[in-house]
Amino acid sequence: MDLSALWTSLKVVSLATALSGTAGIGVAYLLAMRHFPGRGLLQAFTALPLTLPPTVLGYYLLVALGRGSALGQWVEATFKTALVFTWQGAAVAAAVPSLPLVVAAARAAFEEVDVQLLEAAQMDGAGAWQQFVWVLFPLAHRGILAGVTLGFARALGDFGTTLMVAGNIPGRTQTLPIALYDAVQAGRWDLATWLAVLLTGVAVSVLLAVSRLGTRLV
């Protein structure tokens, strides 16, 4: 049971990091490099998950993605499985509160890139995508990596949002933080301690690996 929670957590946090990383970099690029109507609104909305309590965020997501909602029914019809109360749903739940962290770090990294370099690339005939891949991203990668790492850490520790959207189902959606909560509720302090050590171990080893990767990339 303990190891199934570790397995669930690894799956959930991998997908959540991929989701918040991809979406976060995209949003950060738009906020840093583009001017368009509604930019301020987009900025406010992506920061919103930081200000809302996790359970409130979970409530919104459950209502928006639940099997009774239009979006939920579309997902179910398209993928033949509901999103809520699955590990994929848990990943979406964990990705949402991570998103603002990725956006904030990546946006700052994009803004620090010298505009003249981008203009030079443009004069040499590089399109927006080529500028992004060959100039902007390589120059901003350290900030982006920091943001995605923060997002990973936030997703790994997520409790309230995940519990609301995915429930506490052992073997399916019970992540390490939820298993830990369940063990405490059951008065199983030994198991709780063991799970806390496991969760800390996963967090520290991934963060260490990322910082190694970061120094090698410089």
Residues in touch with other proteins (CB under 8 A): 1, 4, 7-8, 10-11, 14-15, 17-18, 21-22, 62-63, 66-68, 72, 82, 84-88, 91, 137, 141, 144-145, 148, 164, 167-172, 182, 184-188, 213, 217
Note the maximum CA span of the chain: 67
Residue 35 CB, shortest distance to other proteins, in Å, is 25
Residue 116 CB, shortest distance to other proteins, in Å, is 23
Sign of torsion over alpha carbons 63, 64, 70, 72 = negative
Alpha helix positions (H), the chain: 2-33, 39-51, 54-65, 70-79, 87-112, 115-123, 128-131, 137-157, 160-166, 176-185, 189-217
Contact by Cβ (8 Å): 196, 180? yes
Paired tokens of 14: 């991998």
Nearer to other proteins, 46 or 86 (CB): 86
Nearer to other proteins, 44 or 71 (CB): 71
Nearer to other proteins, 43 or 69 (CB): 69
Cβ neighbours for 148, distance < 8 A, ≥ 6 positions apart: 17, 20, 21, 24, 25, 102, 106
Residue ranges of E strands in the chain: none
Residue 38 CB, shortest distance to other proteins, in Å, is 27
Distance between CA atoms of residues 22 and 142, nearest Å: 15
Residue 54 CB, shortest distance to other proteins, in Å, is 13
Nearer to other proteins, 52 or 82 (CB): 82
Nearer to other proteins, 44 or 55 (CB): 55
- Residue owning tokens 């990767």: 213
Nearer to other proteins, 39 or 189 (CB): 189
Residue 160 CB, shortest distance to other proteins, in Å, is 11
Cβ neighbours for 122, distance < 8 A, ≥ 6 positions apart: 131
Residue 66 CB, shortest distance to other proteins, in Å, is 4
